[in-house]
Amino acid sequence: MSLIAWRIWKLKRKAIGSNDTEIQAMLEDRNFRTRQLWAEMYGDGGRDSERTLRRDWVETQEKMAIRIKGILCTDSKGGYDAVELNESPLLGLSNTRAALQAFQLRDNLRRTAAELRWVASDFDLGDTTDTTMVYSL
């Protein structure tokens, strides 16, 4: 696994709990766009002469992204469980909007054949970009 995109940013909306913020961050991830760009760079779109004039652009882009393996990693066990395991009406989240985003994320991951994986924070590659570790000898 390699780190392609990672960032820290201020949330666009206020969140009540930490799982709500993790769901929002997962939904705003760049995984799909990166896979789409990778497919375009390697000619997955086909020749212009082979394309029909009228087509569903969203479906075409999703078909291109499916051909590139996409893995979204998080160190939030609660956020992972809400998207992957929980089946309650609000997915175990305290906020209705976060639950709707989790449902949207779940659907997007399934539709574009991407995976959501939980990693322990010790192995999270994103932490190396903002966390300074101090070792005592």
DSSP string, the chain: -----------SS--SSHHHHHHHHHHT-SHHHHHHHHHHHTTTT--GGGS-SS--HHHHHHHHHHTS-EEEEES-HHHHHHHHT--STTTT-S-HHHHHHHHHHHHHHHHTTEEEEE--GGG-GGGGGT-------
Q: Is residue 108 predicted with pLDDT exceeding 80?
A: yes
pLDDT of residue 24: 76
Confidence of residue 97 (pLDDT cuts 50, 70, 90): confident
Residue 137 pLDDT level (bands cut at 50, 70, 90)? very low
The two tokens of residue 39 are 């497919």
- Distances in Å between the Cα of 48 and the Cα atoms of 44, 45, 51, 53 are 11, 8, 5, 9
Q: Where are the domains of the chain?
A: 18-127
User: pLDDT-derived band of residue 136, with 50, 70 and 90 as boundaries?
Assistant: very low
**Which pLDDT score is estimated for 1?**
47
- Which pLDDT tens digit goes with each residue over 24-76? 777 777 777 788 888 888 777 666 666 666 667 777 778 888 888 888 888 88
pLDDT in tens, 110-132: 888 889 988 887 766 665 555 55
